[in-house]
């Protein structure tokens, strides 16, 4: 995946994470899942997410946890709360803690999983890695077939 596609995929994943946060939160408080309700709750966090992406220049290294992911996460929560206050929505202390924890798990968590998957995919298979031991010194179970130990002599 090229850099631009990776960045757009990362933005989309971040938006989905924020929407999951909003939908779960609204459902747990029996607020209902109307599109207008979800939009009114989500916009402060989505706008803050956008500011975080710009501040971190997240498109440069969209899978990076530090500093890009941390800046995006903290901006989404901190500015999201500021935007909520400005728009007349509440920001109880417990809600701030829940937002910090949930969005950290999701916004940073998918980046961690993506990095681990990228590293695992770029590693060569274990069987193809050289052991550093010459074939003649390896145990017979690891020696290529048809190769005998150099000191082993066949009976005359």
Q: Domain residue spans in the chain?
A: 3-119
Residue 141 scores a pLDDT above 70: no
- Rounded-to-integer distance, Cα 22 and Cα 43, Å: 10
Q: What is the pLDDT of residues 5-60, one digit of tens each?
A: 999 999 999 999 999 999 999 888 876 678 998 999 999 999 999 999 999 999 99
Q: What is the pLDDT of residues 62-98, one digit of tens each?
A: 989 999 999 999 999 999 999 999 999 988 999 999 9
Residue 147 scores a pLDDT above 70: no
Residue 156 scores a pLDDT above 60: no
Say what the pLDDT of residue 121 is.
Answer: 83
Q: Which residue did the predictor score with more confidence, 148 or 33? A: 33
Say what the pLDDT of residue 153 is.
Answer: 59
Residue 129 scores a pLDDT above 60: no
Q: Give the pTM.
A: 0.73
């Amino acid at each position: 995946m090229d850099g631009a596609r990776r960045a757009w995929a990362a933005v989309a994943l971040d938006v989905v994470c924020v929407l999951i946060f909003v939908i779960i939160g609204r459902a747990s408080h029996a607020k209902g899942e109307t599109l207008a309700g979800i939009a009114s709750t989500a916009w402060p966090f989505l706008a803050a997410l956008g500011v975080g992406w710009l501040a971190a220049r997240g498109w440069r290294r969209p899978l990076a946890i530090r500093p890009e992911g941390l800046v995006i996460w903290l901006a989404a929560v901190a500015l999201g709360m500021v935007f909520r206050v400005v728009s007349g929505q509440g920001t109880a202390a417990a809600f701030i803690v829940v937002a910090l924890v949930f969005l950290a798990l999701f916004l940073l968590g998918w980046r961690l999983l993506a990095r681990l998957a990228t590293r695992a995919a770029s590693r060569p298979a274990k069987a193809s890695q050289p052991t550093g031991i010459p074939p003649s010194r390896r145990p017979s179970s690891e020696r290529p077939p048809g190769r005998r130990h150099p000191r082993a002599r066949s009976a005359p």
